[in-house]
Structure 1
Amino acid sequence: MSELTKTAVTPSTHTAPPARFSHGVRKGNILQVAGQVGFLPAVPGQPPTPAGPTLREQTLQTLANVQAVLEAGGASWEDAVMIRVYLTDTGHFTEFNEIYNAFFAGLTQPPAARTTVYVGLPGGLLVEIDALAVLG
């Protein structure tokens, strides 16, 4: 892959985005993962389905979806340098951090920098996460 080539990254578990963007884009050793939500893996002919109504269910699926894009782009969580979290409810911050800390407990390198903001999301979605990774 040329250092100047920009490549779209779409795991087989993901549906086509609802607008003209990529789930991930890799250029050189940089991989940007677009905001992912807690949809279960895609089923052909069916609309996207949230993992469940709870913050825990949606957060774990969202992290799995980000991880799928990272892996499809040749990266892992160890390569992540920035993670942005979008929550719909300020009351979810403490619970989210508990889930997040447990998920990343096995990292061997320093964790990524993180920003958390509060937003509105459609259709009962509670969390969205994106990531920026720099590959070795």
Structure 2
Amino acid sequence: MSLSSISKTLIRNMSSKTTQIISNNAPPAAASYSHAIKANGFIYVSGQIPYTKEGKPIEGDFKVKSDQVIKNVLSIIKDSNSKLENIVKCNIFLKDMNNFKEFNEVYSKYFNDYKPARSCVAVADLPLGVDVEMEVIAVEN
């Protein structure tokens, strides 16, 4: 088998039908991206920040902002015809790791018995000057 035919096979096997998800129940995209993409039975949710579905920043303490971020993610998951228990991976981005404990307090209200795989990292900056962002991967119902 030639390298050319291997390459063509990989491209053919990797291609899939994708569906773009734009939710009316989450903040408008802050840049050029979809709220989520469905592909091969998975839902890839773009990073969500503490903004309302009307595109207004959330006022309040870090816990209030974290709660809104998770609500935004769950709205997109619901609009993708899935549910919280289908989330398999969460990626959390914090501007200040000193907020880790507070984030976990809010997170555990939603993810108490069911705990997906998760990463939480500190970053230098986030879009629009927010201090928390969350993205997830879920499976379809």
Same fold (TM over 0.5): yes
Q: 1:58, 1:125 within 8 Å by CA — same for their partners in 2?
A: no
Give the match for residue 3 of structure 2. none
Q: Percent identity?
A: 26
**Could you tell me how far apart the structure 1 residues matched to 2:104 and 2:128 are?**
23
Q: Alignment partner for residue 134 of structure 1, among 124, 132, 139?
A: 139
RMSD: 1.8
User: How many correspondences in the alignment?
Assistant: 126
Larger radius of gyration: 2
Q: Alignment partner for residue 100 of structure 2, among 93, 101, 104?
A: 93
Deviations 1:29-71 (A, max 9, x none): 11000000110121xxxxx222213111111110010001101
Structure 2, unaligned runs of 5 or more? 1-14
Q: Which has the higher helix share?
A: 2
Q: 1:23, 1:69 within 8 Å by CA — same for their partners in 2?
A: yes
Q: 2:27, 2:72 within 8 Å by CA — same for their partners in 1?
A: no
Where 2:48 maps in the other structure, the secondary structure is strand
Q: Map residues 1-136 of structure 1 onto 2, 5 A cutoff.
A: 4-42=16-54, 48-105=55-112, 107=113, 110-119=114-123, 120-136=125-141
Q: 2:49, 2:132 within 8 Å by CA — same for their partners in 1?
A: yes
Instruction: Spell out structure 1 runs of 4+ moving beyond 6 A.
Output: none
Deviations 1:78-119 (A, max 9, x none): 0000000001111101111111112222x4xx4110000111
Amino acid at match of 2:130: L
More moved, 15-24 vs 85-94:
15-24
Amino acid at match of 1:63: I
